[in-house]
Each structure stands twice: as structure tokens, then as C-alpha cells.
Amino acid sequence: MNARAYAFALLTEICIDEGYSNLLLRNKLQSVDPKDKALVTQIVYGTLQNYRLVRYQWQSYVKKEPCKEVALLLDMSVYQLLYMDKMPAYAVIDEAVRITKKNIHPRFSALVNAVLRQVERNGKRELEGNAIEQLALETSHPTWLVAMWKAQYGWQECEKICHSDLEIRKQCVRVNTMKASVEELLASGEFVKGNLAEHALYYLGNDIIHSNYYKLGLVSIQDEASQLVAQYVDPQPQERILDVCSAPGTKACHIAERMGDKGSIVCGDIHAHRVELIKNGARRLQLQSIQAQVMDATSLKEIEGEMFDRVLCDVPCSGYGVLARKSDIKYHAKSTDMDTLIPLQQQILQSASKHVVKDGILVYSTCTLNKKENEKQVAAFLAQHEEFECLQQQTIFPYTHHSDGFYIAKLKRVR
């Protein structure tokens, strides 16, 4: 299978079968010819990041939108024609026709050929619509999401968020300070210092997972903004910590490292296979304080009566802060997604708060940019729980440090 056919197969799994782009690329690129990996990656990520913009370029050339597979192939091909340098048009079009005949149906080949010839001949279309619609098209975000960000954060912030979501993020790691120091790894010449979190570095190689740094547990893959969560928790040696939505365990392991692996961290997830991810991560880092188990964060019946010094609620969220790394989220996003997420977050926060000792800490975090899931969620909780007060809250915008977008609130139980 050549590079374009492989890219189309991957895009089909992501966009039509709703697979996760980062997992699919990480797992399936291993079987791609090394000389084609960069091209496949660029086509897949480029098409996902610009999904609305590329579709806008060809939609006026069809009377009605074709089936999902043909539309996706046109998206991918238009991305190559208009937004990739040194990509011969004849090669893109010929290969698109070949893929149509082999992987979709021969009857669509004439349509694909005709539409792509029109795009090649006429070039890029000018963007139409009001300012919100133009920004949404230019940066390939749902229009409703851009409108929401404008209403919540203002136009300037909204523009910066949208454009930052088109950036290619570097691979960020967290130094395991139990085994190495930031200075030691910087001295290797294979890392550069992060800008936001104290133990964050950026790897200059291709894939940290295949390096000895990762295999020996010296580093873990974690975005800078995400690393701030454990700093907010601020765990102390010998404390009891609860992480109610822990899988895959990245933050729990960070908490364990910050406590010197002294104390206990009870970690939960509702799915047994995801609990195994937590255990695997703890084993790789040789952490003994992690106690992973199946638990339902909305009730926490599995730990009924148990109390903890610090509790982390890194809740399921809409993920609007990680769109640069996970463009498939914006591809599938619907305005109704938060209708089920917001009540779920409320339930988890209410449930977890019952397990915080007096003078203990409750940290609430999301990887989204949405005040309904963030500031308003915390405000609603505090209005119902006078025994808690907010010590600190922060929204990390993705453009500020070229990190994920995040929200973190640190609450204290005062009585």
C-alpha cells in the first residue's frame, strides 16, 4: 500500500469509524515504509486540522455532497493540492482516482477526477460569511464553538485559541525526579527546557517511547499544562491521595514522584482494562505507592467511608483544550456533547468532595476551554458547599506557552 492509500485508510478509521488519531498513528505507522512515514503523518494530520477549510474548497463543485468516503478522499486530496508544497497535481489526482476505484467504487471515479481538476484549475476560494464564520472556516473549527469562545473569552482570545490549534505541538515529557534531574537530561543535548511546568522538557528526537529515557522510566509523556495539575495537588510524603478519574494514570504517577513514592495514592477508573493502564504505568516507573482499582467516580461506593488528605478530580470533559494534538475531537464535536458531560462532572465533584478531610485539598481539572465545564462548574459547587473555599484557579490558554489548554481549581475544606 502506498503512502496516499495508507493515509486514506487511516483517515477512514479516524473520521468515519471514529478511532483516535494519536493512537492509530502511533500503532499503525510501525508498518509503513520508513520513507513514507513523514508523508502519511502530514497528510493525516493536515487533513484533520484543516477539515472544514479543505471541504469548503471543493463543495461548490458538486450539486450534492457525496458519500462519506468520497467526501473524505476529496478532503485529503484537496489538502495535498492546495496546502502541501512540492506535491505534483497529476500525482495527487491520479492516485485519488485509483483509490476511488479500488477502495470505494469505480462509479465515483469520474466525479473525483472532475472535482479535483476544478480545484487545481481555480485554486483557493475566498472565505465568505461573517467574522465568526470566516474564522471557523479558516481554522477548521465548528462555528458554534468559535461563537462560544467569543462569548466566553472575547474576540482576541478566541482568535488566538483558534490559530494556536493549527500549530504542530512538540513532544513534551515530564522528568521523573526520582531517577533523574532536569539538568542531567538537558546536559545530554537531546532535550530543551519547557516554559510552564518545572519538570517539563521537549524531546528533540523522533519518538521518545523508543528511547532508553522512556524505557528506563526517566521520563513520561505529558503536556506542560497537564503537569501543573500535580503541582496544584502539592502532595506531601506519607499523605493519602485519591485520584478518582485516573486512567491512564499519568497524573497519579506524577503525584507519586512528587511525594518521593512515600504515602498511598488510590487511583480509580470505571473500566477494568483502563485500570490496567494505570498499573502498567506505575510498573514502568517502579512506583509502589499507586493502588489502582475499579471504581465508579460518580458514587465511590468502593471506598465508602475512607478519607483522604488530597483528592484529584480530573474529570471527563469536552477536550476543547487539546485540539492541536487531537484534531479528531473538533472533527466529531457537537454542541450537545456537554449536555451529558456537565451533569457527570457535577456528580463526580460532589461524590469526591465527601472524601476530603478537614483542611484537606480538592483539585478539579479539565483539558477543555469552556466556562460551563470550568469556572461555572466550580462556582456552582461552592454555592452548594460552604465547607469548601477556592484557594486558586487558573485557565491555561494553548497559545500562551504552546501547550494544551487546561483549567485547574484548588479548593480547601475549611470545616
Known binding site for S-adenosyl-L-methionine: residues? 269, 296, 314
- Cα separation, 329 vs 177, whole angstroms: 33
316: cis peptide before it, omega within 30°? no
Give the containing element (helix H, strand E) for 267. Answer: strand 264-269
> Rg (Cα) of the chain, in Å, rounded?
23
| 367 is a catalytic site residue | yes
Q: Which three cell numbers stand for residue 372?
A: 460551563
- Cα separation, 160 vs 400, whole angstroms: 9
Helices and strands in the chain, H and E counts: 19, 11
DSSP state, residue 181? -
Which residue is it, cell 486512567?
A: 247
Q: Measuring CA to CA, which residue among 369, 244, 384 is closest to residue 302?
A: 244
Burial 262-284, CB ≥16 within 10 A → b, else e: ebbbbbbbeeeebbebbeebbee
Are the beta carbons of 280 and 272 closer than 8 angstroms? no
- Which residues are annotated binding-site positions? 269, 296, 314
In the set 253, 313, 367, 390, the catalytic residue is: 367
DSSP result, 185-217:
HHHTTSEEE-SSSTTEEEE-SS-GGGSHHHHTT
- Cα separation, 407 vs 364, whole angstroms: 8
According to DSSP, the β-strands at 406-413 and 356-366 are antiparallel
- Cα separation, 4 vs 8, whole angstroms: 6
Active-site residue set: 367
